[in-house]
Structure 1
Amino acid sequence: MSHLELENLQVMEMDAGTVFSGQPSGRMIQGFAAPCAYTPDPDPDYQFHETMREIIVWFMQQADPLYVFGPTGSGKTSLIRQLAAKLNYPVLDVTGHARLEFTDLVGHLSLEEGRMTFQYGPLALALKFGGLFLLNELDLLDPATLSGLNGILDGDPLCIPENSGEVIKPHPLFRFVATANTNGGSDETGLYQGTLRQNLAFMDRFWLCEVDYPAKEAELRLLARTASLLPEAVRETMVEFAGEVRRLFRGFGDTQTPLGESIEVTFSTRTLLRWADLTLRFQPLAHQGVQPVSYALDRALGFRATRETRSMLHELAQRMFPSADAPTGAQNQDVS
């Protein structure tokens, strides 16, 4: 992709209150005048997590890099991307894996039209032109590989020997965000296989932010907009069901008492929306004796679980949902 759009980005000051809440606050925040190809598309149905407040404060001035951690499916990456979209920020992202090397972030030499040219990586592009570098699943990376980032995290220029020793000074609007399931101190729960304990000196460079699953009220509002044909009672039970599955995933019962073991799947908000959507799509099956809620549950989540967990999910659904002849508000069709 051409870097011309990044080179032509125009910095713009905006009222933070107007951008994020629609109410002027008098507090200014810098972003870009227009989106580019790297800017995430805004999602009109997105429900912002209350953690957005501290991330907005982080955005407002050049600061330490940000480390966002929390359980899988809690919306860490989507929160960062949607906040960036509000400010027209380019987001250049990489997902961590065991074989990721520093050159994957900075760039490498490649043959182009018969000559060797340097191809900038996402980190170098964000540093050079301004933008948000997003490193997902950081705790899957080898701490030795990450040590190459220490200077960048401290605000030092990036030197690229492979590109004739080019030195890139950080753009004023360069921001560095990492996401992970753990806080960098290894996984004590056994839920996240492959995560690694990170170097203490490396982690000390970050501003930490924990993101949990959205509040019940936020998910209810979201379902009311996206699945309004489902009765309110069904939507409420779906959110409660998702909450119970999340507790079981973390090894807790409905009273937050540790169970000593956990299930291997959980509900993200995305999965919850998919379940509601599929329940509506499969409602005609109720006339054939098939329960749409359970049928949709398998296709949204259950098929990813072990046979034992899938059976437990269905038993839980049978307890929590009304009988199979509960009608929808709009179409008088079965939903359970």
Structure 2
Amino acid sequence: MSNDPLRDWRIAEPPHYRAQADEVALFEAAYAARLPVMVKGSTGCGKSRFVEYMAWRLQRPLITVACNEDMTAADLVGRFLLEPSGTRWQDGPLALAARHGGICYLDEVVEARQDTTVVIHALTDHRRQLPLDKKGELIRAHPDFQLVISYNPGYQSLMKDLKPSTRQRFTAFDFDYPEADVEAEVLSTETGISSAQAHQLIAVAHAARRLKGHGLVEGMSTRLLVNAARLIQGGVSLHAACQMAMVRPLTDDADLRDALEHAVLAVI
């Protein structure tokens, strides 16, 4: 493994992921056809965990890029670096995955500028190529390369959306929060809390999710529930854990906090 350029991105242990439908088989089919994949869903509903699990299942390295509005095309494809002996080219994460056969995961891709994400176009059609204009090189994607992107449709706007020419290059999954029993299993497996405690946290989460669009931009994510469960395992009371990990991070609005506090007290 010492000569493996992607050794740092290989996933050694299987991430816990509980399938909700047939998404595992469908992702495997997309990978077999070397089709790029787009994963859409609310924050904290398991998109990144699913991608991580599939990379482990397919035994491929996973290079994750957290996209942001300051990211440039050079941040993805690479740049020349100045060194005492001269200049040296360094591949960016997209070029590294394309050259050596990893899965490149662009998380929250709509946060990146559209002129930045255009660089993925030649990789996501029949060409499977990445031109490195500054270096004068054309990377022909490794047979094992795949591109995966994700974003939250709830944050879409005219300024933050994928161009149709980008969107229509991908196969897609729609993700949502799991059913109560599945989410309870996730919480218990991740943190060790009892099923009864997990269902109490989920009852609070469902109350919060019903407020989405009625004051809350986003519902209460599974990630927040996991944080609360870890506090409970550490000896924190259910009420304090819900306040610290679920209610306060979700909103600063006093009325919404009161409504969520009533939900917590009803569960307790």
| Residues 15, 49 of structure 2: 8 Å contact kept | no
**For the Cα contact (< 8 Å) 2:64–2:107, is it kept in 1?**
yes
The superposition leaves residues 212-245 of structure 1 with CA deviations (integer Å, 9 ceiling, x where unpaired) of: 1122221222334455554x43332222222232
Check the 8 A contact 2:34/2:146 in 1, yes or no: yes
Instruction: Return the letter of the residue paired with 1:60.
Output: A
Query: 2:29 — aligned with what?
Result: 57
2:132 alignment partner in structure 1: 160
Structure 2 distance, partners of 1:45, 1:145, is 33
Q: How many angstroms does 1:91 deviate by? A: 1.1
Given that 2:106 and 2:149 are in contact with CA atoms closer than 8 Å, whether structure 1 keeps it comes out as yes
**Post-superposition offset of 1:161:** 3.1
- Which one has a larger percent helix, Structure 1 or Structure 2? 2
Q: CA offsets, 1:273-313, max 9 Å, x none?
A: 22122124335xxxxxxxx2111112212222214232221
CA contact (8 A) 1:282 1:296 kept: no
CA drift at 1:248: 1.9
Contact preservation (8 Å) 1:118, 1:162: no
Aligned to 1:297: 242
TM normalised by structure 1 equals 0.71
Change (3 A) 1:126 1:274: same
| Range with bigger deviation, 72-81 or 269-278 | 269-278
In structure 2, runs of 5+ residues without a counterpart are none
1:121 to 69, 80, 92: 92
Change in Cα spacing, 1:95 to 1:229, as seen in structure 2 (3 Å) is closer
Summarize the alignment of residues 1-336 of structure 1 with structure 2, pairs less than 5 Å apart.
4-6=3-5, 36-43=7-14, 45-50=16-21, 51-63=23-35, 65-156=36-127, 157-163=129-135, 165-182=136-153, 187=154, 196-226=160-190, 230=194, 232-249=195-212, 251=213, 261-264=214-217, 266-283=219-236, 292-304=237-249, 305-308=251-254, 309-321=256-268
Between structure 1 and structure 2, the one with the greater Rg is 1
Q: Distance in 2 between matches of 1:245 and 1:41?
A: 36
Relative to 1, partners in 2 of residues 1:265 and 1:312: Cα closer, same or farther, differing over 3 Å? Answer: farther
**Which amino acid is the alignment partner of residue 204 of structure 2?**
F
CA separation of 1:116 and 1:70: change in aligned 2, threshold 3 A: same
Return the TM-score normalized by structure 2: 0.88
TM-superposed deviation, 1:265: 5.2
Change in 2 beyond 3 A, CA 1:180/1:229: closer
Structure 1 residue 72 displacement after superposition: 0.8
- Cα distance between partner residues in 1 of 2:158 and 2:241: 31
Q: Do the aligned partners of residues 3 and 154 (structure 1) sit closer, same or farther apart at CA in structure 2, a change above 3 Å counting?
A: farther
RMSD: 2.5
Cα drift, residue 192 of structure 1: 5.9
Q: State the 1:89 CA deviation.
A: 0.8
Q: What is the SS of the residue equivalent to 1:4?
A: coil
Q: Do 1:128 and 1:168's aligned partners in 2 also have CA atoms closer than 8 Å?
A: yes
Question: Percent identity of the aligned residues?
Answer: 24
Structure 1 gaps, min length 5: 8-35, 252-260, 284-291, 322-336
Residue correspondences, number: 264
Q: 1:39 to 1:195 in 2, by over 3 A?
A: farther
Q: Assess, with a 3 A threshold, how the Cα gap between structure 1 residues 195 and 276 changes in structure 2: closer, same or farther.
A: farther
| Distance apart, 1:193 and its partner CA | 7.3
